[in-house]
Amino acid sequence: MILRSTAVTRANSAFLHMEDRVDFKYDGVNNESKERKGGHGIPKVSMVPLVFLIFYEVSGGPFGIEDSVKAAGPLLAIVGFLLFALIWSIPEALITAEMGTMFPENGGYVVWVSSALGPFWGFQQGWAKWLSGVIDNALYPVLFLDYVKSSIPALGGGLPRTFAVLILTVALTYMNYRGLTIVGWVAVFLGVFSLLPFFVMGLIAIPHIEPSRWFEMDLDNVNWGLYLNTLFWNLNYWDSISTLAGEVENPKRTLPRALSYALVLVVGGYLYPLITCTAALPVVRESWTDGYFSDIAKILGGFWLHSWIQAAAALSNMGNFVTEMSSDSYQLLGMAERGMLPEFFGKRSRYGTPLIGILFSAFGVVLLSWMSFQEIIAAENYLYCFGMILEFIAFIKLRMTHPSTSRPFRIPLGTVGSVLMIIPPTILIVVVMVLASFKVMAVSILAVLVGFALQPALVYMEKKRWLRFSVREDLPDLLDPSAGAAEDETTPLVV
């Protein structure tokens, strides 16, 4: 990584005074000579692996959606996934496509917020989203063990479960260390393998389907907190892919299309098994907990399908883990490349991967793996909501203050339309945060306050020269008037 030695306070001022300069270009990051290989000489991620990286950032398959039926019954579960996709997933994916092509560099949403609101809030965005991602990643070893404990009861608790979490974390962390291209193609294989048994189970379920079961609903017996958190957790994180946009081949064109293909894959991957399985068997809501799809598979298809679903669940959680860790670690690398974190966070391994970011993310996963499934979902959702509020504000502000800045993909809405688009997801954010338990709310607010203290502490450490901060040389200087006004070329989001 080529760096220009610049004090973090000066590097951050490039964001603070962004409104005083003309529009900028990313010629230094995305010219033709760097389309297929980054400055570190590692091949960039192409379309197909990118689609499945997004798929695993957001979903990984229907594992974990069972609690939506337990919380609210079949009808609200099915309608919930449809409505949440419409009012949350689509707007978030569209904003990610526009902002990710406007700022096609590692760091993603941290750069968006920093550019619009200044370095302090950009750092808070990075802190909250990184914590949210690490908490989310701590969930996947838990889900994996929940699926296999019926076959290996010793993994249900105690030391065997603890050692299993550690072994899984180390093995999957090593895969991240070996390279993002490997992670991308592994995600393709895992995605196909994880979705295929649900397609087969749906076909087997068709003769047993009774449509009346879809309409079962008891509004007096709905766990709204569990219901909303389950839907929200399964349909968010579309913006995570932005943190590694600098590793994507031709991100201006590839990123919007990959997001649209992944959206179809994710929503279809949830609705198909939910619709077929809730109608094929009598719904006993208490049974719909983590891992219940494997029980349904055993009833409908026998032990072979049960084993296939369990294997798919195990591999899917591995895919979720490695892609989430990639996003988290590249976010830290991107922040270091912009001078927002100490220079050592920008260190790459010989495979081009963010070595320190991977280690920090793995350490966070191990620390948080003791939490329960519901606690993990609630805590990461709360921090994620905080970050999304900052993203929405940054998106609208940049639309208003820099309308002519190049956006290779632009949402076909004006400023008023964009504001109207984010009103429903903003309401949803408020509801999710209000419904959080006191414990989750207190821990999450405390974590946010730590970020408020951490950013000025890092600035102070830089001034005292206790830590070294640098800005990557080939990133555009957002203060440089010579960059010129970029022509606003847009391309449609094609499904």
Q: In terms of C-beta density within 10 A (0-12 exposed, 13-18 middle, 19 or more buried), how is residue 211 classed? A: exposed
Which helix (H) or strand (E) is 471 found in, with range? strand 470-472
Residue 145 pLDDT exceeds 70: yes
In a domain, 33, yes or no: no
Residue 127 tokens read as: 């802190």
Burial 358-394 (b: 16+ CB within 10 A, else e): bebbbebbbebbebebbbbbbbbbbbbbbbbbbbbbb
pLDDT at 412 over 80: yes
CATH number, residue 445: 1.20.1740.10
**Residue 478 falls within a domain, yes or no?**
no
Of 9-23, 356-370, 443-457, the range with the lowest mean pLDDT is 9-23
Q: Please state, rounded to an integer, the average pLDDT across all residues of the chain.
A: 83
User: According to the model, what pLDDT value does residue 404 have?
Assistant: 83
Does residue 106 fall inside a structural domain?
yes
Residue 478, pLDDT score: 52
Mean pLDDT, rounded, for 363-385: 71
- pLDDT class of 377 with cuts at 50, 70, 90: low
Look at residue 479 and tell me whether its pLDDT is greater than 50.
Answer: no
Decide if pLDDT at 456 tops 50: yes
Instruction: Using alpha carbons, select from 223, 202, 283 the residue that is nearest to residue 435.
Output: 223
> Which residues is 244 bridged to in the sheet?
106
Contacts of 398 (CB under 8 A, 6+ apart): 99, 102, 112, 115, 116, 405
What value does the mean pLDDT take over residues 285-305? 90
pLDDT band at 373 (very low <50, low <70, confident <90, very high): low
Does residue 205 sit within a domain?
A: yes
> In 3D, which of 24, 455, 65 has the Cα closest to residue 273?
65
pTM: 0.85
Residue 2 forms part of a structural domain: no
Instruction: Give the pLDDT band (50/70/90) at residue 402.
Output: confident
pLDDT one-digit tens code per residue, 438-455:
888 888 888 899 999 999
Q: Taking residues 39-46, what's their average pLDDT? A: 72
Q: How many domains does the chain have?
A: 1
Confidence at residue 437, expressed as pLDDT on a 0 to 100 scale: 79
What does the pLDDT look like over 198-244, one tens digit per residue? 999 999 999 999 999 999 888 889 998 889 888 988 998 899 999 99
Between 176 and 266, where is the model more confident?
Answer: 266
Residue 356 inside a domain? The answer is yes
The DSSP line for 412-442 is S--HHHHHHHHHHHHHHHHHHHHTS-HHHHH
**pLDDT tier at 278 (50, 70, 90 boundaries)?**
very high
Q: How far is CA 357 from CA 327, 331, 368, 469, in A?
A: 10, 8, 17, 15
In whole angstroms, give the CA distance from residue 329 to residue 352. 12
- Range from 15-19, 260-264, 299-303, 484-488 carrying the lowest mean pLDDT: 484-488
The stretch 56-70 carries a mean pLDDT of 90
Note down the domain range covering 219.
38-403+412-466
**Tell me: the pLDDT tens digits for 96-112?**
999 999 999 898 999 99
Q: How many percent of the chain have pLDDT more than 90?
A: 43
Q: What's the confidence (pLDDT) of residue 473? A: 78
Predicted pLDDT at 26: 56
pLDDT at 492 over 60: no
- Output the pLDDT for position 421: 95
The answer to whether residue 23 is domain-embedded is no
Which residues have CB under 8 Å from 39's CB, separation 6+? Answer: 1, 2, 474
| H or E element in which residue 232 lies | helix 224-234
Total residues belonging to the chain: 495
Query: In this predicted structure, what is the pLDDT of residue 91?
Result: 95
Residue 230 counted as domain residue: yes
Residue predicted with more confidence, 40 or 189:
189
